[in-house]
Amino acid sequence: MTITTHSPEETQELAARLGKALFPGAVLALRGDLGAGKTAFVRGLAQGMGVSGRVHSPTFALVHEHNGPLPLFHFDLYRLEDGLAETGLDEYFDRGGVCALEWPEKAEDELPLERLDVILRSPDEATREITFLPRGKAYEECIKSLL
Ligand code: ADP
Ligand code: MG
């Protein structure tokens, strides 16, 4: 399923709707180039999940934790060295929160098979084509909330 947005606000609203439908242990892999809108998407997720704190790129840390009804673990793996054997990522997957990962390809082998892949493309400055690829039944249910 692909949805096109025309502003950062629209992307955030879309992500907020998804955020309301997410469940403990949900994992989202956000894929797209620099400036594609991955962080903007997480900002919307946070809003929809009702978590506290401002969302910005975890530049120095690999992960930011936000508290809320469900905790949100926001990862940016950009600086992770390719093929690093042990990131400890899987510890977060079992903590009953939502994990949103930017640059998940840096730890592709460690991603759970059941997850939601979100691919963001940027055909022009204000347009984003956002494709949702649910890997598993639970995620198929989730993205129905976006229709
Ligand atoms: P990433 O985390 O993928 O590097 P960011 O979310 O940090 O990307 O940045 C996205 C940039 O694109 C922001 O400057 C934002 O204002 C801009 N933008 C323009 N149109 C959109 C849109 N439709 N959705 C999301 N971001 C958009
Ligand atoms: Mg980012």
pLDDT tens-digit series, residues 52-95:
778 887 666 788 999 999 999 999 998 887 655 566 788 899 99
CA 139 / ligand 2 centre spacing (Å): 23
Can you tell me which residue has the tokens 């992500």?
15
Q: Domains in the chain: how many in total?
A: 1
43 lines ligand 1 (CB under 6 A): no
39 lines ligand 1 (CB under 6 A): yes
Ligand 1 atom index nearest CA of 36:
3
Q: Which ligand is nearest to the CA of 32?
A: 1
pTM score of the predicted model: 0.95
CATH code of the domain in which 70 resides:
3.40.50.300
101 has pLDDT over 70: yes
30 lines ligand 1 (CB under 6 A): no
Ligand 1 atom index nearest CA of 30:
3
pLDDT score recorded for residue 8: 98
Domain that holds residue 10: 2-144
Widest CA span in the chain = 39
Residues 109-147 have pLDDT tens digits of: 899 999 999 999 999 999 999 999 999 999 999 999 898
Residues 6-48 have pLDDT tens digits of: 999 999 999 999 999 999 999 999 999 999 999 999 999 999 9
Contact yes or no for 7/126 (Cβ under 8 A): yes
